[in-house]
Amino acid sequence: MSQNIAIIGLGSMGFGMALSAVRGAHRVWGDDLSAKRKAEFVVEGGETSPLSEAAPQLDVVAVVVLNAAQTEDVLFGDNGIAPKLRKGAVVMGCATVPPEFAKDMEARCTALGILYLDAPISGGAGKAAQGRLSIMASGHPDAFAAAKPALDSLSETVFKLGDHAGPGSAMKAVNQLLAGVHIAAMAEAMTFGMTQGVAPEQFLDVISKCAGTSWMLENRAPHIVEGDYSPRSQVAIWPKDLGIVLDIAKSTGFNAPITQTALDQFKAAADMGLAAEDDAAVAKTYARQAGITLPGE
C-alpha cells in the first residue's frame, strides 16, 4: 500500500529513511533546514511540491531531528505541521527524547485528532538507507496500523513496546546508554592497546572476533583505523543522549556512574572542537592524554 509520507530532517538517518520510503513506492516529501539537502533528495525521487501544500494529503510524518526542542518546533512551532495534518494521519517521533516528552506529544496530537507513534530508531545511517532499521515503538494500535506501510519500508524490526507513548523512548534511552558507553569503551581500549604496541588495525582484526567485541566496536573502530571522521553520527549527539539517560536516572534516584564517565569523555571531545566529527573521534581525547598519534593524524 502506497502512502504519502514526509520525512522531516534529512540528516544521515533521515535521508536514508527517505530513500527507503521512495524505494517502497511511496510518495515522499523531504524537508530540512538545508536547501541543498532537500534538492539532493528531489534528485533521488522526492516530491517537488512544498511540504506546506502537501500537509493535508499526508498519511505519515516521520520527525527525524536532533532533540525534543526541534521535535516540538516541527510539530507545534510557528510553522508547525501538526495543525495542518488531516485527522487520522500519524506522526512518528523518531528522535531520542525523554519518555515524558513523548507522552506530551502524543496528548497534543490526540487533541488535534492526529495519531502519534513514539518511534525512536536504531541501526545507523547504513541500515536507514537499506530500510533495515530497528524501531522501538509504542503507541495506540491505531497508530501502528496507520504507520504500517511506512514502517514496512523503513525497518527490519519493529518492537511493539506498549499501547501509549513513553515506553519506546524509555527503551531508546537504555539503548543509548549502552551505545554511548560502548563507543567510549572501544576508544579507550584501542588507545590503551596502542600504548602497549597493539596497532589499531590489529586491535580491530583480533577483538572483533573475541568476547570483548560489540556492534559499536565493529561499526566505529574502522573509522579510527581509516583516520576518517566524516560524521555518520556526531560527537555532539552523545552529550544530549547520555544527558537524557542521566536525567531519567536522577528522576528515579538511580546511580549510573559508567554513563557519567562516558558522558564526560564526549563532553571533553566536544570541548576539543570535535563536536561535528564522527563520534569515533572520542578516541582523540585518549590519544591526546596519552601522547599517541592516531591513524591519519
Q: Which residues are catalytic?
A: 172
Taking residue 50's Cβ as centre, other Cβ atoms within 10 Å add up to 10
- Kindly give the interhelix angle for 283-290 and 167-195, rounded to the nearest 10 degrees: 30
Place of cell 516541527: 74
Given a contact cutoff of 8 angstroms between Cβ atoms, the answer to whether 40 and 11 are in contact is no
CB within 8 Å of 251: residues ≥ 6 apart: none
Q: What DSSP string runs through 244-287?
A: HHHHHHHHHT---HHHHHHHHHHHHHIIIIITTSBGGGGHHHHH
Q: Give φ, ψ of 134 to 5 degrees.
A: -100, 130
What is the rounded distance in angstroms from the CA atom of residue 79 to the CA atom of residue 127? 31
What's the order of all strands across the beta sheet hosting 90-93? 27-31, 4-8, 60-63, 90-93, 115-118
- Alpha-carbon distances of 215 from 17, 72, 187, 220, rounded to whole Å: 21, 31, 13, 8
DSSP conformational letter for 157:
E
What is the rounded distance in angstroms from the CA atom of residue 204 to the CA atom of residue 250? 36
- Alpha-carbon distances of 77 from 37, 69, 81, 250, rounded to whole Å: 22, 10, 8, 29
